[in-house]
Amino acid sequence: MVVGEFAQETDLLVIGAGPGGYVAAIRGAQLGMKVTIVEKGNFGGVCLNVGCIPSKALITAGHNFQHAKGHDSMGISSDNVSVDFTKVQDWKQSVVNKLTGGVKGLLKGNKIEILQGEAFFASEDTVRVITEDSSTPYKFKKAIIATGSTPIEIPSFKWSKRVLSSTGALALPEVPKKLVVIGGGYIGMELGTAYANFDTEVVVVEGASDILSGFEPQMTQIVKKKLKQKGNVTIHTNALAKGVEETEDGVTVKFEVNGEEQSVEADYVLVTVGRRPNTGDIGLENAEVKISDRGIIEIDDQCKTSNENIYAIGDIVPGPPLAHKASYEAKIAAEAAAGKPAYLDYSAIPAVVFTDPELATVGYTEPLAKEEGLEITVSKFPFAANGRALALDEPDGFMKLITRKEDGLLIGAQIAGTGASDMIAELGLAIEAGMTAEDIALTIHAHPSLGEMAMEAAEIAMGMPIHVVK
């Protein structure tokens, strides 16, 4: 800071206005702090602008297209169903605009100072907010870093008109006839499935032995079964992407499987091999905030960094890059910054992938529980035995509960099937509240509903199932 230069002062400075940053700012303001938030891009971050929200809008549009084509098994059919993808994109953007506009409204409503610019740490307690024509110092008592992450670009697949990140894939002007997806993780499989539902031919190239790492094979198997039924999705596992040749009209992607080189022509290639934290070039060394070789900021159980007045949340700290994880950490960090006794507890943070069908997990998985030597009971109820699932013509899938054998305490749950993203919330709440299988079984669930499966699986855990044979 230049000698004699006057610095603006604030109690809490938040860097980044994504699902971590804006939530931290609001919670800080609710706790009586003077809050300033800095955002260099779009408010709402990756999630609202080019991630969670637009991808789910596109996924929904794809489902609606498939539904419009009819259900032969129900005796419903229709002809000449078409897609105006320009209107699909316009509708998707209208959803994004409503939510991002809402974020600004919430910040203003909580009397938070909003700054559009780039933040750079000048010292342990000062940030410069840089715009095109100014550089203003801000002195803070506490700061929360919530700068998010960026798609990883690999050298042999440089971003271009035809080589896309998830951001580019969400903004295509037309439905591709053929799409190659490099990476079978949750982003690749969600977007690949979305376009497959628009009748795009999709080829997935995954380096690991299975898609959707982090989910159990019995769950991913159901996704693969449904993709096979679609007839327009091919999955190559244990495959190494080698490179791409681009023309004006398309791409040729080369990859290797079991030592044999293959190539496939397509309109576009989508590269989804992970994300990197946005922790470079913001002056963390000036603030004495330590980062790992991968750019991850280490934090304690209050989200505090090596600088006791600076906190970090979201994709830039250890753990999966989930928007709801960032929002949870935001509240903990803001409360800790305000002097409250708030501490992290990740035991009931869910993970959801919006494939077809959806997958969801919370708490312990069966393999993890066994790895840690826990004595557990595994209780699995099939969608095919649920009346609502059959009436929806969605019989594929299951709900699985992991309970502690000694007392029936629920410690984990997994769902593969339609509505998994909504149903997992009840089981996360049950884990958070310390509920047992008996507590869930004694909770009256509406009939017919998908939610009944929680009650049914809990009764299996107790050894007294009603709708499956013991």
Active-site residue set: 447
Under 8 Å CB-to-CB from 357, ≥6 apart: which residues? Answer: 222, 223, 226, 394, 396, 397, 416, 417, 418, 420
Longest dimension (CA), the chain: 80
SS (HEC) of the chain: CCCCCCCEEEEEEEECCCCCHHHHHHHHHHCCCCEEEEECCCCCHHHHHHCHHHHHHHHHHHHHHHHHCEEHHHCEECCCCCCCHHHHHHHHHHHHHHHHHHHHHHHHHCCCEEEECEEEECCCCEEEEECCCCEEEEEEEEEEECCCEEECCECCECCCCCEECHHHHCCCCCCCCEEEEECCCHHHHHHHHHHHHCCCEEEEECCCCCCCCCCCHHHHHHHHHHHHHHCCEEEECCEEEEEEEECCCCEEEEEEECCEEEEEEECEEEECCCEEECCCCCCCCCCCCCECCCCCECCCCCCECCCCCEEECHHHCCCCCCHHHHHHHHHHHHHHHCCCCCCCCCCCCCEEECCCCCEEEEECCHHHHHHCCCCEEEEEEEHHHCHHHHHCCCCCCEEEEEEECCCCEEEEEEEECCCHHHHHHHHHHHHHCCCEHHHHHCCCCCCCCCCHHHHHHHHHHCCCCCCCCC
The Cα–Cα gap between 131 and 133 comes to 5
